Amino acid sequence: MFKKDVLNVDDKYYLNALKLAASEALNLSVSIGYVTEDNIELFLRKAESEAKAVEKIAYGERDKIINTMAKGELEAENISEVSQKNITEEDNNQENNNREGGN
């Protein structure tokens, strides 16, 4: 038989050790991707968090693309205006040459 001092256990110590073991087991199950009824909420929260991060990146990239397209459209308009101006000047020069007895 064991005496009382041998069987005397610190309830708080073992309760805390048990809680720690349960917490570490839960973390391990999530880190290896083992889904259970007990950890499904953690997986869903993790997925939601990751989706929000992807969304933030995607919207940032979307804004960059929109800004780049707007700059491109503005540049295209400027090129068109310059081209139209050059064409008009060439036409005017050609008309002047024709009036002066050119070709």
CA distance linking residue 74 with residue 78, whole number of Å? 6
On whether residue 32 sits in a domain, the answer given is: yes
Co-location of 96 and 67 in the same domain: yes
Co-location of 62 and 100 in the same domain: yes
- Of the pLDDT bands very low, low, confident and very high (cuts 50, 70, 90), residue 85 is confident
- How confident is the model over 6-16, as a mean pLDDT? 85
On whether residue 73 sits in a domain, the answer given is: yes
CA distance linking residue 48 with residue 51, whole number of Å? 5
8: helix, strand or coil: coil
* Identity at 41, one-letter amino acid code: E
The pLDDT tens digits for 27-57 are 999 899 999 999 999 999 999 999 999 988 8
On whether residue 45 sits in a domain, the answer given is: no
Among residues of the chain, what percentage have pLDDT more than 90?
A: 34
Co-location of 76 and 97 in the same domain: yes
Number of domains within the chain: 2
Co-location of 68 and 102 in the same domain: yes
Per-residue model confidence (pLDDT) at position 11: 86
On whether residue 3 sits in a domain, the answer given is: no
* Identity at 58, one-letter amino acid code: A
Co-location of 33 and 76 in the same domain: no
Domain containing 34 equals 8-38
Co-location of 21 and 54 in the same domain: no
Per-residue model confidence (pLDDT) at position 34: 95
Please give the structure tokens belonging to residue 31: 């880190």
CA distance linking residue 34 with residue 43, whole number of Å? 10
